[in-house]
Every structure is written in structure tokens, then in C-alpha cells.
Structure 1
Amino acid sequence: MGRDIGGLHHVGLVVADMAKAVETCRRLGFTVPPPACPTLPTAPGAPPRPVGAANTHIYLRRNFVEIVTVVEDGQPMPAGARTIPLDVPDDKLPGLLAAVRGAAANLTACLDRFPGMHILIFDSPDIDRAASRLDSAGVGHGGVHAVQRPIETADGTRMVPAHYLEINSDEPGAPPGRLPEGRLGIAENAAVDEHQQPAHANGAVDLVGCVLCVPDDELPETARRYEAYLGRAAGRDGPTATFDLDDATVTLVAASAVPNLPPGGRPPAVPAFVGYTVAVHDIARTEEYLRAAGVSHTKPRAGEIVVPASEALGAAIVFRSSTR
């Protein structure tokens, strides 16, 4: 029987200014659609209003990078954002509003720590089996929920079914859906043939890795947590613990070693996601684009280019030559 975690579904960066974030990502060579924001009535019969969060996705071949910002109830949406009205029966409205506001509160708490990468969602071919395994391992989660997510097709944006769960902290009194490092979960998408990956000027193809920085003395316990989340053992190498998924890696690194390892740079607080890796078809063309755009970068090893967190919304990007 195959594993119930295949790779990375998406990573998410929480930002304070969506317009500037979109501009930054486009300068980095990503194709970024306008942000979207759900609208809901705040009471039965009331007019729909923006609520919760506005986001946009950098779509890749099998996954994406999410850019998200908090939208206070009734406040203006980010410039250029489009609305997605949510149709919900009156009796379900209070529960949905509570869930949306709870998620927004989690995002606000992340942003209060620092703007940057606070979301990591794993991809699963069978989320119900993943949920059952987490139950057996004693990992708390919020259960499997059905949602709609946007995808880009030849005919424009389309909403398709998806299922997800959020992993809860085992610390007493911790809010649901929030771990010390941010929001962690698992998602399963329905198969969609019409998905069209937009072309990216930097040559981006797939999201293939992320790096979590933890306090040195917490590395063994964090590795144990992620072994339970992922259902597999970590490979240990000094100050790092690496999980090899089917088509991606998750690396935990001790804080004292971060300056000496890609992506480098100490985060404002730990634990924290400090970077993610994007596969590209032609690393030379990626470097050529970044140089022409005036984006600072380094080349720590052959086949890799690192854009520092200061240039990339608080999380370093490792562009890596694709082997597929």
C-alpha cells in the first residue's frame, strides 16, 4: 500500500500589503493573478461583505505558492481584488463565519510574529486514510473538510472540489489549526484535466521543498512530530533532519546552523519556515532573468540559485535545476 502523503500541496506567505506582495512576486518572475476575497453576509438577509482573507496563488505544475492577507469584516478589499460570493444556508452561516474568522485570527497571529512563510500544506492521494493514520498516531486535527478551490483553465478561473484537514498543536490551550511554526495541514484535490500552468518568466515548474528552522534543543522533538505527521522517518545529518517525500523534501534545521546552510539568514523568531524550493527547467535562464530584473541572489552550489528572504516576502527562494 502506498503512502498517504505524496509531496507538497502548497506553501503560504502571510503579508500585510497584498498589492506590494504581488508586485514583488511579479518582479521575481512569477505570473500572479489578481487576488480574490470571499464575501459573506454577516447576518441572515444582510448584504455580502468581504470577510476573512484575500489571497492569490502562484500556480505551478502540481502545486502552488499562496500569498494571503487578512481582510477585516467590512473593510475595503486589496486593490484589484475580485470577490467570490459564498452561498450558504442561513442556518449554516454562523458556523461558517466563526470558521472564517478563526482562520483570519490565526493569520493575524502569524503576521504579528513577522510577515513571511507561515503555511505548509502536504498533498495526499487519500486524505481519509491520512486522517485515520493521524488518529492512530495520536495526532490531533480538525477533521476532513470539503471546500472549493480556484484553478486556472483554458476558459478562465474555475472552482473545483478539494478536501483538507488542519493539524492541531498538542500544547494545552493552543488555538485549533495553529502550531508553533504556523499552519500545517494536508489536502487532497479532485483530478482536473483542464489545469493550465501559466508560464513563469523565471522558469518555475514545481514546488519541491521547504525548510523549517527550529531552536537547537527542539530539533529532536520537532523531527518526532513531523515523523508522526508524515508517517515516515527523517534522515538525520548533524544539525538537519530531512524528510524525503515522493517528489519533494521537508528539511528541519537547527537555528545555529541556518547561516551556514541554504537558504541562509536567521528568521525574526523560531520556529519558523525560512524558505522553499522551486524546480526550474533551465537554471541558466533563471539566473539571466533575475540578473536582468535586478534581483539579488547567490549560487551556493551548482544547479541552485538562492534569492534571500529580504527580496522575497520574508522567505528565501531556492531555484533548483529540475531533474524531471
Structure 2
Amino acid sequence: MSHPGEPGPGVGASASASASASASASASASGLDHAGICTRDGPALWAAFEALGFALTPVARQSGRRTPDGPIEELATGNRCAMLRQGYVELLAILDPARFDNGLGALVDRYPGMHILALTMGDVAGNLARLRRGGLAIPGVAHLERPVDDPAGPRARFSRLPLPDAPEGRVQLIRHETPELLWQERWLHHPNGAATLCGSILVSAQPAESAVRLSRLAGQALEPDPVGGFALPLPDGTRLRILPPEVLGEVLPGVVPPALPFHAGLVLRTADGNAAARRWLAGIAAEGPLGLCVPPERAGGVALVFAP
């Protein structure tokens, strides 16, 4: 006989399984949070994206800790962002080379372009424990903060779990501690119609190794990609593709990797079937296998695909 507050016959096991599944799901990546395009010339990158029809947030200088328990200090870097209804594109620059750049300079020296891939997480402690159980030497939670539009006003705060020593760049799990400060309605309307960050394309000489690293970070299973290589579907409907270089031309014709691994492309979905993007990007973008594609040389080093 069950008592008040206890599960009835046959319910305990399913309830326990449900709770376990819920805990497991929270200790994994739930989606694609943002991608970061990196440069030493912030004004040029920001102007290029405004010319592509993005409405960017104000310039924000970043602060953080060099170690999980270190003091917060102003970093070398600052950004502007193209905030979308789902996800965003970060445009990150080294603004003060005399300060600590958290390894960004070494990444940009490989090639200016996309070096940041951030996946959304909910349970920071659970994900840290999961990754450590998997043998990853993650020292702890990395904290980052920056102002939003007023240096003296509220500061956006983030908790991050970066994948250590990843050849794919700054690949990480992230939780927004102050999402309401970033996803403000005034920044979500873009003349080109971009609304959702729905995928990325990574090219690797060892796609299986890169795919396994991303899968371990996300806590999600891989699938075969239709053109070769691997895909990592995420619960929010976004999709990461990890491809060998010989098939890149099938999805992004004409894109040549400057080095490997190489974050070759981002896929953005528009709210109007690409109507605004076709008008705004006339003479810049061309129709390709995935949609309307802006070449890397016009978008900071990464191909931008506008998908209807």
C-alpha cells in the first residue's frame, strides 16, 4: 500500500527513470548558443557585418578570470553581436593587445575567422561532473562578464566550460546568467531578415576525431552526414556538421580552408523566406546548395548561409 506522497505500485521505477532522464538531459548541451568570428581589426569586421544587413549591439569590453578562482580583470577583447531570435553571432576583436587575450591572438594568427563554437547548457555543475567523469581535465567553471550598452550599467554574465586544448578552437558549453540583458527586442530586428542561428560547418582532416570531441562536449550522439563525415544534432533543432575537406565543395562551393580544422560556415534561417536577404545581399551573395551564401571574404572569414 502506498502512503500519501509516495508513488503507487508500478510508479516508482518509472518516476525514478524519468527523474534520471531529466537529470541526464540537463547535464548535456541543449542547443547551439552562438558562434564567434574573431579578428584583430574590430571596426572593419563590424562594418562588414553592418554592410551585410545586421543590426549590431554596442561595443562591449570583456572582463574575466584567468583561473577559476582568480580575480576579475579587464581583458584584451571586446565584441559586438548580431542577436537573433534563437542564438547569436559574436564578432570578437582584440582591442587592447597589451592585456590578456585568453588565447585569442594565437587563434587569429592561424586565420581570421570563426574560432568560437558555444553550446547551450543548463546544469553547470552536472556538465562539469559529466565531462570530468569522461576524462577531460577541465579545471573548473570559467566566468566571463561584460557591459551591455552602458559601461556603468548592468553587466551580462556567463558561466563557461571550455574544452581544453581543442584544435577546433574555443569550443565550449555556456550558460547565460543574465539572458534578459542580451536578448532585447531592440536588437533582434535585422534588415537582412536573419532570425535563427541553426547550424555550423566544421572542416577537419580528422573528422572522426573532431566529431568525437564535439560529441563528448555536448553529451549528444553523432549521426552520419549525407555528404560524408558526421553530424551532431542538438535538442533545439540545430545541427553541427563535421566534414572532411574533400566534400566541402558539395555544401559550400568555392570555399577553401586556410588551415585545418576550419570553421567554414554558419547557417542562419530567415523569417521571410530570404526575401529581405535577396534584396539586401544582391551582388554579394549567390544561391548555393544550402541557401543564399555570402563568401568568407565578405563575412570576416566564414561563409554565411541564409536559409529560407
TM-score calculated relative to the size of structure 2? 0.79
In the alignment, which residue of structure 2 is the partner of 1:276?
266
Q: Which residue, 56, 59, 69 being the options, matches 1:35?
A: 59
The equivalences for 1:130-279 within 5 A come to: 130-151=127-148, 158-169=154-165, 179-190=166-177, 192-193=179-180, 195-197=183-185, 198=187, 199-215=189-205, 218-237=206-225, 239-247=228-236, 248-262=238-252, 265-279=255-269
Residues 249, 149 of structure 1: alpha-carbon distance in 2 compared, 3 angstrom cutoff: farther
Residue type at the aligned position of 1:297: A
Where 2:248 maps in the other structure, the secondary structure is: helix
2:30 paired with 1:25: no
Residue type at the aligned position of 1:286: A
Structure 1: runs of 5 or more not aligned: 41-48, 75-99, 170-178
Q: Contact 1:142–1:166 at 8 Å: present in 2 too?
A: no
Q: Contact 1:142–1:167 at 8 Å: present in 2 too?
A: no
Where 2:137 maps in the other structure, the secondary structure is: coil
**1-structure distance, mates of 2:214, 2:253:** 20
Residue type at the aligned position of 2:305: V
Q: Which shifted more, 10-19 or 248-257? A: 10-19
**1-structure distance, mates of 2:253, 2:241:** 11
Residues 39, 300 of structure 1: alpha-carbon distance in 2 compared, 3 angstrom cutoff: closer
**1-structure distance, mates of 2:211, 2:121:** 20
Residues 230, 182 of structure 1: alpha-carbon distance in 2 compared, 3 angstrom cutoff: same
**2-structure distance, mates of 1:320, 1:146:** 33
Q: Which shifted more, 225-234 or 112-121? A: 225-234
Residue type at the aligned position of 1:219: P
Q: Contact 2:34–2:87 at 8 Å: present in 1 too?
A: yes
2:114 paired with 1:125: no
Superposition deviation, residue 158 in structure 1: 3.8
Residues 263, 63 of structure 1: alpha-carbon distance in 2 compared, 3 angstrom cutoff: farther
Q: Deviations over 1:91-124 (max 9, x none)?
A: xxxxxxxxx6150xx1111111111101111111
**1-structure distance, mates of 2:210, 2:35:** 19
The number of aligned residues is 269
Residues 273, 35 of structure 1: alpha-carbon distance in 2 compared, 3 angstrom cutoff: same
Residue type at the aligned position of 1:317: L
In the alignment, which residue of structure 2 is the partner of 1:317?
304
In the alignment, which residue of structure 2 is the partner of 1:287?
278
Superposition deviation, residue 278 in structure 1: 1.1
**1-structure distance, mates of 2:41, 2:50:** 15
Q: Contact 2:42–2:94 at 8 Å: present in 1 too?
A: no
The equivalences for 1:85-100 within 5 A come to: none
Residues 102, 149 of structure 1: alpha-carbon distance in 2 compared, 3 angstrom cutoff: closer
Q: Contact 2:63–2:144 at 8 Å: present in 1 too?
A: no
Superposition deviation, residue 230 in structure 1: 1.4
Superposition deviation, residue 182 in structure 1: 1.1
Residues 260, 235 of structure 1: alpha-carbon distance in 2 compared, 3 angstrom cutoff: same
Q: Contact 2:62–2:146 at 8 Å: present in 1 too?
A: no
Residues 257, 149 of structure 1: alpha-carbon distance in 2 compared, 3 angstrom cutoff: same
Q: Contact 1:149–1:160 at 8 Å: present in 2 too?
A: yes
RMSD: 2.5
**1-structure distance, mates of 2:201, 2:261:** 11
Superposition deviation, residue 245 in structure 1: 0.3
Where 1:101 maps in the other structure, the secondary structure is: coil
**2-structure distance, mates of 1:273, 1:7:** 18
Residue type at the aligned position of 1:242: A
Q: Deviations over 1:132-159 (max 9, x none)?
A: 1111111232411333344579xx9742
**1-structure distance, mates of 2:61, 2:157:** 18
**1-structure distance, mates of 2:58, 2:211:** 37
Residues 50, 205 of structure 1: alpha-carbon distance in 2 compared, 3 angstrom cutoff: same
Residue type at the aligned position of 2:267: T
Superposition deviation, residue 257 in structure 1: 0.8
Between structure 1 and structure 2, the one with the greater Rg is 2
Superposition deviation, residue 232 in structure 1: 1.9
Q: Contact 2:57–2:149 at 8 Å: present in 1 too?
A: no
Q: Percent identity?
A: 27
Q: Deviations over 1:210-246 (max 9, x none)?
A: 111001xx12222222221111221113522001102
In the alignment, which residue of structure 1 is the partner of 2:285?
296
